Chains A and B, each alone.
Chain A
Amino acid sequence: MSRPWPEQVYQVLRAADVTQVGYVPDAGHAHLIARAQQDADVRDVVLSTEEEGVALACGAWLGGQRAALLMQSSGVGNCINMFSLLTSGQFPFLTLVTMRGEFAEFNPWQTPMSRATQPVLQAMGLTVLRAERDDEVADVVDAAASAAYQANERVAVLLSQRLIGRKKWTTE
């Protein structure tokens, strides 16, 4: 595929019939958020904190729709107890997590949650996949969507900070 990977990922989500997208604003997810906002068939739901998106996805599923949660690694920490809803109800779940604090990170405050992100997700029963290169992202997200919505799994895809690119720190 020749399109940039963020657009590829959006196409994967739409092909998987995701029609609710919950998110906390994030530069790494900016394209997906903008596309969800433009798409008349998708409801974009800006959240005040990430755990709302876990409950939102379960509510969507109860009602017959598929949701995805877009967040940063720091947001995973906010979700920990709400993840118990996924296990207790055996809800399918797909989240895309942009990583901070692991590659060319300028802000040390991002590092503690970055290191805990994968262990925390696994401790709460989620399967964790990781995408490092732009030519594998769409494939990994597609695999995660299949596991979630066809095999009723709970899956997180970590999008590496090297993939996202270093944070631009402009002085304008």
Chain B
Amino acid sequence: MSARVDRRAFVHAFVAGLESDALVISGLGSPTYDLFAAGERPGNFYLWGAMGGAVPMGLGLALAQPRRPVVVLTGDGEQLMGIGSLATVGVQQPANLTIVVLDNGLYGETGGQRSHAGHATDLAAVAAACGIADVRRCDHLTHAGSLADAAAAMAGPVFARVLVDASEQERVLPPRDGAANKIAFRAALGLSTF
């Protein structure tokens, strides 16, 4: 049994270490709550659905904003549903994209059923096999700062499997209005509503 880290403490430390211009997309469920709990920032986009879409959405954003660090913060279940998107990232090789998977090996939102990652699938090995060269395994709070530094360096793509414990966390819910979030996100980049 490897060491596990508290997800909220890790995300808090990671987000605190990001550059202010970093753009972050969170996958539905706990990663969205974790990101919001770390403090609202204008460059955050919170997914409340679209399971499997966090990484391809981050890819489109990373390609559109090549001078800014782009982070996808998601969970193992969400990543498993979009597992093919790691292959798509492996083709594109976006230097400014960092994928952070908070891996507790279970589906926390639905009652804690074990995910494939909790059985047999090593998502870090999958990412490496898809051609992502900088793959990390994080199991200590001190890894959050170096991961934030890697995101800022934009020498990726980077994939981090963060081994988090299965403890229940307080639900800290960001607004569910995706359109308002989109408009605010684009405004922070100096873009019009449409």
Contact A55 B51 (CB under 8 A): no
A4-57 interface (Cβ within 8 A of B): 20, 22, 43, 45-49, 51-57
Least CB distance from B120 to A in Å reads 21
- Among B25, B49, B59, point to the contact of A84 (Cβ < 8 A): B49
In angstroms, Cα B91 to Cα A39, docked, is: 17
Least CB distance from A49 to B in Å reads 5
Chain B, residues 67-102, CB within 8 Å of chain A (1/0): the string is 000000000000000101101100110000000000
Determine the main DSSP class of B at the interface with A. helix
- B60 / chain A contacts, CB cutoff of 8 Å: 20, 22, 45, 55-63, 65, 67
In angstroms, Cα B55 to Cα A56, docked, is: 8
Contact A85 B53 (CB under 8 A): yes
Contact B64 A65 (CB under 8 A): yes
Contact A52 B56 (CB under 8 A): yes
Central interface residue in A45, A56, A59, A149, by most chain B CB within 10 Å: A59
In angstroms, Cα B178 to Cα A152, docked, is: 15
B30-63 interface (Cβ within 8 A of A): 45, 47-63
Least CB distance from B179 to A in Å reads 4
Contact B88 A59 (CB under 8 A): no
The reply on B186 being an interface residue by CB < 8 A is yes
The reply on B169 being an interface residue by CB < 8 A is no
- B115 / chain A contacts, CB cutoff of 8 Å: none
In angstroms, Cα B64 to Cα A112, docked, is: 36
Central interface residue in B47, B56, B61, B92, by most chain A CB within 10 Å: B56
The reply on A88 being an interface residue by CB < 8 A is yes
Least CB distance from A121 to B in Å reads 17
Selected interface stretch from A89-97, A103-111, A137-145, A159-167:
A89-97
With known contacts A56-B59, A62-B186, A64-B65, A45–B92 Cβ distance under 8 A: yes
- A46 / chain B contacts, CB cutoff of 8 Å: 88, 91
The reply on B136 being an interface residue by CB < 8 A is no
In angstroms, Cα B62 to Cα A88, docked, is: 21
In angstroms, Cα B55 to Cα A60, docked, is: 12
Contact A51 B63 (CB under 8 A): no
Contact A90 B87 (CB under 8 A): no
Contact B64 A64 (CB under 8 A): yes
Contact B63 A64 (CB under 8 A): no
The reply on A81 being an interface residue by CB < 8 A is yes
Least CB distance from A124 to B in Å reads 12
In angstroms, Cα B55 to Cα A49, docked, is: 13
Residues of B within 8 A of A (CB): 23, 25, 45, 47-65, 82, 84-85, 87-88, 91-92, 178-179, 181-182, 185-186, 189, 191, 193-194
Nearest 6 interchain pairs by C-beta: A59-B60, A63-B64, A48-B84, A55-B53, A89-B178, A60-B60
Residues of A within 8 A of B (CB): 20, 22, 43, 45-49, 51-65, 67, 81-82, 84-85, 88-92, 149, 152
Cβ contacts A to B, 27 pairs, < 8 Å: A22-B60, A48-B84, A51-B52, A52-B53, A52-B56, A52-B84, A55-B57, A59-B61, A60-B60, A61-B60, A61-B64, A61-B182, A62-B45, A62-B60, A62-B182, A63-B23, A63-B60, A63-B61, A63-B64, A64-B186, A67-B60, A81-B50, A84-B49, A85-B49, A88-B49, A88-B50, A89-B181
